[in-house]
């Protein structure tokens, strides 16, 4: 007989994990939406933010609010600085150049984290209990609920930002056509910096949530690999797409892992989203909510 209880457990876990993926994918989407740049170092952003908070908490014994504040401030500064030093000289260059620059950046960050703060796994304790919340037949760890809530909050906040606020509309204008935006008196470069700083904020939150779930070490950067299936499924420039893509990836990987792992001996979690993504690329390359691009000679 089909085990509905097991299935429900996989589904609920998948939804919560999926929302946590959405949070990280959001950082990617923000940058792409505003600057047309592709960030292959999103996972490393999350890792560095996790390191910052974990080190501030563990090594220097800072209170939680201070550690989170330090993490956020550092990531905002990092975002602005990165845009100025690396990304701005690459404006107008082929897309491959930007991809490679962020791949290079990911290598730098992956070396930098363990070099400065050591290779061992650091805990990132948050003041919430480890006891899973039992809700009917389902039980979920509180950290996942926290992660899901933070994701939803920020997705809503950025949705509002892009739809209603003056800065958000300016950012959309920059993304749509840089030259026209410049002619309308928008300081394009400042908005590029702002977009990277926003990605830094989102990554800092992602780093706290994921770091607290998995522990902070260099492997934390691997969650970045999940960003690509999420954004491809949802559409690269779509915030609702990031939510939906995250949910789909979370569900698919949990259900696939639950039913296929016993047969093949593990690893389905990392594999299934990419198979799904390949199919999506063949059928609908610009994603569920993405804009198809029209190319002219």
Partner 1 sequence: MIHRESGILKTTYEADMALYPLPIARWTVAAIAAFMFLVLPLSVHEYWLSIVNLVSIATVGALGLNILVGYTGQISIGHGAFMSVGAYTAANFAVRLGFPFWLSLPLGGLMAAAVGAVVGIPSLRIKGLYLAIATLAGQLIIEWTINHVTFISGGVQASIEVPRPELFGYKIASQRQMYFFLLIFVVLALVATMNLVRSRIGRAFIAIRDHDIAAEIIGINIFRYKLLAFAISSFYAGVTGVLYTYYLGIANYEQYQITTSIDYLAMIIIGGLGSVLGSVFGAIFVTLLPILIRFAMEASGGLLFSEAAVRNIIPNLRLILFGMLIIFFLVVEPEGLNRLWRNIRSYFRVWPFAY
- Residues that bind partner 1 in the complex, under the rule CB under 8 A: 38, 40, 86, 89-90, 93-97, 99-101, 103-112, 114-115, 118-119, 225, 228, 232, 236, 264-265, 267, 270-271, 274-275, 277-278, 281-282, 285, 295-297
Q: Where are the alpha helices (DSSP H) in the chain?
A: 4-35, 42-58, 64-82, 95-117, 142-164, 166-176, 178-183, 188-214, 227-234, 239-264, 268-283
What is the b/e burial string over 237-256, where b = at least 16 CB atoms within 10 angstroms of the residue's CB? bbbebbbbbbbbbbbbbbbb
The CB-of-146 to partner 1 minimum distance in angstroms stands at 29
Helical pair 188-214 and 142-164, crossing angle rounded to 10 deg: 170
The CB-of-59 to partner 1 minimum distance in angstroms stands at 16
Give whichever of 183 and 264 is closer to partner 1, judged by the CB atom: 264
Give whichever of 221 and 247 is closer to partner 1, judged by the CB atom: 221
The CB-of-39 to partner 1 minimum distance in angstroms stands at 10
* Closest C-alpha to 42, from 27, 61, 60: 27
Q: Are 22 and 223 in contact (CB under 8 A)?
A: no
Give whichever of 183 and 297 is closer to partner 1, judged by the CB atom: 297
Q: Are 19 and 246 in contact (CB under 8 A)?
A: yes
The CB-of-90 to partner 1 minimum distance in angstroms stands at 7
The CB-of-117 to partner 1 minimum distance in angstroms stands at 11
Give whichever of 107 and 184 is closer to partner 1, judged by the CB atom: 107
Give whichever of 84 and 172 is closer to partner 1, judged by the CB atom: 84
């Amino acid at each position: 007989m089909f085990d509905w209880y097991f299935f429900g457990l996989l589904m609920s876990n998948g939804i919560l994990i999926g929302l946590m993926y959405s949070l990280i994918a959001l950082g990617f989407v923000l940058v792409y939406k505003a600057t047309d740049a592709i960030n292959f170092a999103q996972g490393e952003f999350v890792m560095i933010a996790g390191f910052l908070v974990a080190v501030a908490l563990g090594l220097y014994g800072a209170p939680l609010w201070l550690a989170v504040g330090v993490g956020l401030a550092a990531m905002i500064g990092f975002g602005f600085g990165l845009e100025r030093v690396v990304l701005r000289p690459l404006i107008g260059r082929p897309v491959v150049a930007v991809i490679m620059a962020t791949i290079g950046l990911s290598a730098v960050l992956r070396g930098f984290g363990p070099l400065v703060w050591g290779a061992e796994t650091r805990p990132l304790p948050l003041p919430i209990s480890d006891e899973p919340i039992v809700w009917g037949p389902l039980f979920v760890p509180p950290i996942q609920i926290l992660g899901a809530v933070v994701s939803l909050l920020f997705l809503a906040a950025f949705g509002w930002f892009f739809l209603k606020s003056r800065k958000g509309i300016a950012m959309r204008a920059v993304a749509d056509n840089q030259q026209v935006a410049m002619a309308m008196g928008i300081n394009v470069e400042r908005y590029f910096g702002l977009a990277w700083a926003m990605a830094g904020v989102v990554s800092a939150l992602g780093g706290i949530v994921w770091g607290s779930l998995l522990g902070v070490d260099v492997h934390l950067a691997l969650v970045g690999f999940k960003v690509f299936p999420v954004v491809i499924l949802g559409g690269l420039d779509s915030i609702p797409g990031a939510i939906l893509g995250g949910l789909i990836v979370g569900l698919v990987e949990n259900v696939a892992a639950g039913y296929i792992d016993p047969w093949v001996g593990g690893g389905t979690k990392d594999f299934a989203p990419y198979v799904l993504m390949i199919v999506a690329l063949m059928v609908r390359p610009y994603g569920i909510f993405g804009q198809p691009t029209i190319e002219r000679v």
